[in-house]
A and B are shown apart, each in its own frame.
Chain A
C-alpha cells in the first residue's frame, strides 16, 4: 500500500485483557513511531524505532506497554492488563529521516470498558 496502515481500526476490550495493535509502515521507511491521543489531548510520544538501533522507549507510560518491530518493518504495540485510562487513539507513523516529516496511519481507537 501507499501509506501507513494500522489494524484493527477499532478495538473494544475489557479491563484486564491484553491487546495487540499492529502497524505496517511505508516500505523503505527506517523510522517508526507510536503515539497516542487521549480525548481532548495532543499526540503523546510513546516509542521510536530507527533501523537496527535500540528503540527509544522513554514515552511508554508504564511497564504494561511494550512494542516490537520485526525485520525492520511491521511493528506491534502490546498493552497488557488494560486499564480504562488506556482508552485512546493509538497512532503509528513512519519516516525516512529522523526529524523530517512523519507519515501517520489512520490510528486504532482503543476502548477499555
Chain B
C-alpha cells in the first residue's frame, strides 16, 4: 500500500512556463514533507520542505503548497528552466509519530523542460 503517491510518472513543460508536480499521501501521521530532485546517476538532492503547520513555503523559483484536508501537496516551479529537467520525488515523515527519521518516498515524476 503506497502511502505517498505521485500519480504522474512524467511531465513536460516549455521553458519559462510553470511546472506543477503533485503528490498525495494517505497516512494522517505524516507532518513533514520534502521534495527531492534527482539527476541520472546521482543521488537525490534536497529541494524544499514544509511542515504541516504551514500551507506554503517558498524558496526562489520553488514553492510547495500543502493542503492537509485533502492530504495533497504540490511543487510549483516558475519559471521553469531546462536545467530543472530531472526526476522529482515527494517524501513524507511523521515527526510527531516518533519515527521522524523515516522518509516515505513516492515513485517520482520525471520533469522535462523543453527549450
Check if B101 sits within 8 Å of A4, measured CB to CB.
no
Contact flags (1/0) for A88-113 with B, using CB distance below 8 Å?
A: 00010100001101111111000000
Residue A18 at the B interface, CB < 8 A? no
How many angstroms between the C-alpha atoms of A4 and B75 in the bound complex?
26
Contacting residues, chain B, for A26 (C-beta < 8 A): none
Given contacts A42-B4, A43-B89, A101-B49, contact A106 B41 (CB under 8 A): yes
User: Of all chain B residues, which has the CB nearest A105?
Assistant: B43
Residue B93 at the A interface, CB < 8 A? yes
Of residues 48 through 87 on chain A, the ones whose CB sits less than 8 Å from some CB of chain B are: 48, 50, 56, 59
Q: How many residues does chain B have at the interface if contact means C-beta atoms less than 8 Å apart?
A: 27
Check if B105 sits within 8 Å of A42, measured CB to CB.
yes
Check if B44 sits within 8 Å of A99, measured CB to CB.
no
Contacting residues, chain B, for A104 (C-beta < 8 A): 36, 43-45
- Of B41, B101, B104, B108, which is within 8 A of A33 by CB? B101
How many angstroms between the C-alpha atoms of A48 and B95 in the bound complex?
15
Check if A102 sits within 8 Å of B46, measured CB to CB.
yes
Residue A31 at the B interface, CB < 8 A? yes
Given contacts A101-B46, A103-B46, A106-B41, contact A42 B101 (CB under 8 A): no
Check if A48 sits within 8 Å of B89, measured CB to CB.
no
How many angstroms between the C-alpha atoms of A50 and B89 in the bound complex?
24
Check if B108 sits within 8 Å of A56, measured CB to CB.
no
Contacting residues, chain B, for A102 (C-beta < 8 A): 46, 103
Residues of B within 8 A of A (CB): 2, 4, 6, 32, 34, 36, 41-46, 49, 89, 91, 93, 95, 99-108
Top-9 shortest CB links A-B: A104-B43, A42-B105, A99-B100, A43-B105, A98-B101, A101-B46, A42-B107, A104-B44, A106-B43
